[in-house]
Amino acid sequence: MKVKTTIKIKKFNFQSINSTFATQTIKMRLHRNLVYTTIDSLNAIFNEGEYADKVVARALKKDKRWGSSDRKFVAETIYEIVRWKRLYAEIAEVKEPFDRDNLWRMFAVWAVLRGYPIPDWRQLEGTPERKIKGRFDELSKVRALKESIPDWMDELGAKELGEKVWAKEIAAQNQPAKVILRTNTLKGTKENLRNTLMDLNIETEYLKDQPEALVLKERANVFLTDAFKQGLFEVQDANSQLVAGFLDVKPGMRVVDTCAGAGGKTLHIASLMENKGQLIAMDLYESKLKQLKLRAKRNGAFNIEYRIIDTTKVIKKLHEKADRVLIDAPCSGLGVLKRNPDAKWKLQPEFIDNIRKVQSEVLESYSKIVKPGGKLVYATCSVLPSENQEQVEKFLKTEIGKQFTFIKDRKILASESGFDGFYMALLERKE
């Protein structure tokens, strides 16, 4: 509060824009009903401000006759065009707000660069294939266009991480995210889960140094499986799974997750506590805690209490009461663009300025919950030092921060790990 391929089409080097489609020999033809659904969805995302994940979920329910390949085409095409919006718009020579003709021109760019034969539909008449490829080569010389991000974001990333690191990082953030499962150890082992999924023809691989993680070899709708409905696993990025372990929780402790949200990390903490002790999940929004309650029931996690932060008294009542406190702070989300590509277009520089202030306030306020000798983890899914280590350094100079000792931190880049970008710092309150 998160697939590297290369394709050459007709001697056209498609090195920058990677896609899961690139693993296929493209002999497919475009189907009108699937493309129309894609155009409608892009209109909702670009012009009506809807979130891509919600739009895609709705689109996939549109026609019950669609098979898995049809749904895959719709979902992946929507996400691809959202991810490369700026580049495609520049190639197509269209500007926001996009009317339907503009969206069709952007779709035509996608289709040409993916090697699809252009059908003789009225909306795609006169598609300039050679010009599209030429403009791709030309525009790819400018990083902000090549990686399809706003200029301000490119400047900020380069300023905070340095040109070389940022160039690698934003390229990695433009790769589609892999699907990672976290075994719910309250209900079984990783090995048993892998075997159960294998029986459903869902193949997974282990991850080194990740005790509960399984990586899907191919994308699949795991939410429809009985294994998910029985609470045997959650979908959670590999680096997100590191946070709960970083907190060093033990069964029987009193642990507070101060920004629980829908509770991915809360549920992981509950499993590490083996349902023993007290786990308090807090959030500003009741709707998120309601989602967490449903997930906890499915997971068999019953040591969780739920508290809405509706007044400052909720925090004050817990001052110096917790063995462990997790502050999974609200952030820019610049570490999880690969799974939330529309955030590139919804984020504004003013939001990042404001969120840094919120992070400072949250860290000062919620840190008071840690009892002497207890530990605190401050975490974000951002790669910007100004949201991460600089926040911790600033906190340690405050009145409450001087009561803490810095133990260690971990900076994780998508370009180095292959998964989401994360930051986590472990602090201990002095006795």
Is 381 in the active site? Answer: yes
User: For the chain, what is the radius of gyration of the CA atoms?
Assistant: 23
Binding-site annotation, residues? 283, 310, 328
Query: Which residue type does 9 have?
Result: I
Cβ-count burial 87-103 (b if 16+ within 10 Å, e if not):
bbbbbbebeeebeeebb
- Specify which residues 48 forms β-bridges with: none
Say how far apart CA 1 and CA 142 lie, in whole Å: 31
Q: Which residues contact 19 (CB under 8 A, 6 or more apart)?
A: 3, 5, 7, 76, 80, 114, 176
Q: Which of 102, 60, 65, 64 has its CA nearest to residue 78?
A: 60
- Residue 391 buriedness (CB in 10 A; 0-12 / 13-18 / 19+): buried
381, 383, 424, 425: which is the annotated catalytic residue? Answer: 381
423: three-class secondary structure by DSSP: strand
CA dihedral 225→230→231→234, nearest 10 degrees, is 0
Instruction: Give CA separation, 58 vs 40, 76, 325, 344, 362, in Å.
Output: 11, 14, 37, 21, 35
Instruction: Provide the terminal-to-terminal Cα distance of the chain, rounded to the nearest Å.
Output: 30
Task: Report which DSSP code applies to 247.
Answer: T
CB atoms within 10 A of CB 253: 20
Binding-site annotation, residues for S-adenosyl-L-methionine? 283, 310, 328
Q: Which residues contact 170 (CB under 8 A, 6 or more apart)?
A: 143, 147, 149, 154, 157, 337
As annotated, the active-site residues are 381
